[in-house]
Chains A and B, each alone.
Chain A
């Protein structure tokens, strides 16, 4: 398989304080990869850098062989990289339908937008029921579904999710994870960032562990899940 994304020696600093100290990792096409780390480890910063929201200090981010580290979020969306941000960030005063339309903002063809909206509604029937409701009135689980559907509106190549389980009931988390697992084989590549990683590790192929800005471990999900250090620090097996 070809490498879809390759990050090499990426460093990131807020002002003078370096928070990511040269990390490298890669994602192959069609994989689900999990990035684990505690609060403050630099996971969200990594995703923000990959989606163009923040500029890295040095290193490179290769996407389909091209360096994208200086590109704007808009152009990355057009290239097929979508981020589902932490806390979902649904537009609360837009209706469900409008949220989806915003997701397809870069898509010019009205027919394509209509088709995709239809297919999203088929995949998430709850959203069809609530298409005229304001985003802010949805439950946490529905918002997470909407956030994912919104990102899928442009048929991305790489879908990145920042702590999709945040603040959701366990049963809903299961649903979200099953949904992500179902993307396997559709050609969609997924980068999943999680803090509490049991379920994430179950659906993913490989995993990386980030600790205070350093990549401290990587391997197949089973290897990472079985490592005693990971178990102690992140899985809470005490």
Chain B
């Protein structure tokens, strides 16, 4: 049971990191980054090449993944979003971002091949035995590290000048501009942060899914599911949604075929979208203070 719990929480932590990165971009631009799953894959594959193929140290792989992801996120920003103008009125970003995810997946398949490559666990796969349960240190680290990232991001948002500016852009880019804030710069920094989080998430999930061009096709949509279940753009919500989803999936596999567990997650996502569009933490928390009336 403990083993299932640890695995569920570690998968949940990955979902939470995905939801967090999706939320970072959503909060300033009001768009859902539909190629986030592909970015995670690119990060993991880059790290795999460094670590698995060229036998470079682990940290070099992670650093390379972060750099490659940052570059790709900037490319996405300039090729898919910049040209569309106001993203609230021009929803074609849905199409360009999905298009980009198709491009990234196929470039990855052409560059890295279609193999499922084993990826090393952290701490050489060492584990700890509690009772009859064996828990990998990698899983424990994943959970702790994800929470650390979440708390750090929350602190950055609340305490720093960048955080204040980020929240200002999130409220209204126009008003933020009147303060002398470059909304564009803040948005690009958010894309960069999201890229870093994606790289870390990719490296942490790769041992479980194996490193391949299709490693995120299954878990890809889960990030959005976690983000929506927790409430879009909400840091705490991302973690609530992520852990909840991870746990539910692990528990439910005890009762139904493993292949259907993904279907259950998506059913859950659809139900939350329909019945609690603001996420399980209820929308009130972050609509607080925002003008509730839309002038007609």
Q: Decide if A and B touch, CB cutoff 8 A.
A: yes
* Interface residues of A, Cβ cutoff 8 Å to B: 51-53, 72-74, 77-78, 82-83, 85, 89, 91-94, 98, 101-103, 105-106, 134-137, 150, 154
Chain A proximity of B233: nearest CB distance (Å): 12
- The reply to whether B177 and A53 form a contact with Cβ atoms under 8 Å apart is yes
- How long is the Cα–Cα vector from A91 to B291 in the complex, in angstroms? 10
User: What chain A residues lie within 8 Å of B161 (beta carbons)?
Assistant: 101, 105
Per-residue contact bits, chain B 160-176, to A (CB 8 Å; 1 contact, 0 not): 01001101100110111
User: What chain B residues lie within 8 Å of A82 (beta carbons)?
Assistant: 178
- The reply to whether B167 and A105 form a contact with Cβ atoms under 8 Å apart is no
| One of A51, A78, A137 near B178 (C-beta < 8 A) | A51
- The reply to whether A77 and B179 form a contact with Cβ atoms under 8 Å apart is yes
- The reply to whether B177 and A93 form a contact with Cβ atoms under 8 Å apart is no
User: What chain A residues lie within 8 Å of B177 (beta carbons)?
Assistant: 52-53, 72-74
- The reply to whether B179 and A102 form a contact with Cβ atoms under 8 Å apart is yes
Known: A93-B167, A135-B289. A53 touches B180 (CB 8 A): no
- The reply to whether B172 and A89 form a contact with Cβ atoms under 8 Å apart is yes
Extra inter-chain contacts (16) besides given A93-B290, A101-B164, A136-B289, CB under 8 Å:
A52-B177, A53-B177, A53-B178, A73-B177, A73-B178, A74-B177, A77-B180, A83-B178, A89-B178, A93-B171, A94-B164, A94-B167, A102-B176, A105-B165, A106-B180, A136-B288
**B155 CB within 8 Å of chain A:** no
| One of A92, A103, A136 near B179 (C-beta < 8 A) | A103
**B189 CB within 8 Å of chain A:** no
User: What chain B residues lie within 8 Å of A92 (beta carbons)?
Assistant: 171, 288-291
- The reply to whether B175 and A91 form a contact with Cβ atoms under 8 Å apart is yes
- The reply to whether A105 and B179 form a contact with Cβ atoms under 8 Å apart is yes
* Interface residues of B, Cβ cutoff 8 Å to A: 161, 164-165, 167-168, 171-172, 174-182, 286, 288-291
- How long is the Cα–Cα vector from A77 to B164 in the complex, in angstroms? 18
- The reply to whether A74 and B168 form a contact with Cβ atoms under 8 Å apart is no
What are 14 A-to-B residue pairs whose CB atoms are below 8 Å?
A51-B178, A74-B180, A77-B180, A83-B178, A91-B175, A93-B171, A93-B289, A101-B161, A105-B161, A105-B179, A106-B180, A136-B288, A136-B290, A150-B179
Shortest 9 CB-CB contacts between residues of A and residues of B: A136-B289, A92-B289, A77-B180, A106-B180, A73-B177, A89-B175, A105-B179, A102-B179, A105-B180
User: What chain A residues lie within 8 Å of B175 (beta carbons)?
Assistant: 85, 89, 91
Chain A proximity of B90: nearest CB distance (Å): 14
| Residue in B closest to A136 when the chains form the complex, CB atoms | B289
Chain A proximity of B278: nearest CB distance (Å): 15
- The reply to whether A105 and B181 form a contact with Cβ atoms under 8 Å apart is yes
User: What chain B residues lie within 8 Å of A91 (beta carbons)?
Assistant: 167-168, 171, 175
- How long is the Cα–Cα vector from A77 to B175 in the complex, in angstroms? 12
- How long is the Cα–Cα vector from A98 to B163 in the complex, in angstroms? 11
Chain B proximity of A95: nearest CB distance (Å): 10
- How long is the Cα–Cα vector from A102 to B175 in the complex, in angstroms? 11
- The reply to whether A98 and B289 form a contact with Cβ atoms under 8 Å apart is no
Chain A proximity of B279: nearest CB distance (Å): 17
User: What chain B residues lie within 8 Å of A52 (beta carbons)?
Assistant: 177
| One of B171, B180, B289 near A154 (C-beta < 8 A) | B180
Chain A proximity of B101: nearest CB distance (Å): 32
User: What chain A residues lie within 8 Å of B168 (beta carbons)?
Assistant: 91, 94, 102
| Residue in A closest to B177 when the chains form the complex, CB atoms | A73
- How long is the Cα–Cα vector from A189 to B181 in the complex, in angstroms? 23
User: What chain B residues lie within 8 Å of A53 (beta carbons)?
Assistant: 174, 177-178
Chain B proximity of A47: nearest CB distance (Å): 10
User: What chain B residues lie within 8 Å of A135 (beta carbons)?
Assistant: 289
Chain B proximity of A153: nearest CB distance (Å): 9
User: What chain A residues lie within 8 Å of B288 (beta carbons)?
Assistant: 92-93, 136
- How long is the Cα–Cα vector from A214 to B33 in the complex, in angstroms? 44
- The reply to whether B289 and A102 form a contact with Cβ atoms under 8 Å apart is no
Chain B proximity of A99: nearest CB distance (Å): 9
| Residue in B closest to A75 when the chains form the complex, CB atoms | B180
User: What chain A residues lie within 8 Å of B174 (beta carbons)?
Assistant: 53, 85
- The reply to whether B179 and A72 form a contact with Cβ atoms under 8 Å apart is no
- How long is the Cα–Cα vector from A53 to B172 in the complex, in angstroms? 13
- The reply to whether B290 and A102 form a contact with Cβ atoms under 8 Å apart is no
- How long is the Cα–Cα vector from A127 to B180 in the complex, in angstroms? 22
User: What chain B residues lie within 8 Å of A73 (beta carbons)?
Assistant: 177-178, 180
- How long is the Cα–Cα vector from A73 to B172 in the complex, in angstroms? 14
User: What chain B residues lie within 8 Å of A137 (beta carbons)?
Assistant: 289
User: What chain B residues lie within 8 Å of A134 (beta carbons)?
Assistant: 289
- The reply to whether A72 and B182 form a contact with Cβ atoms under 8 Å apart is yes
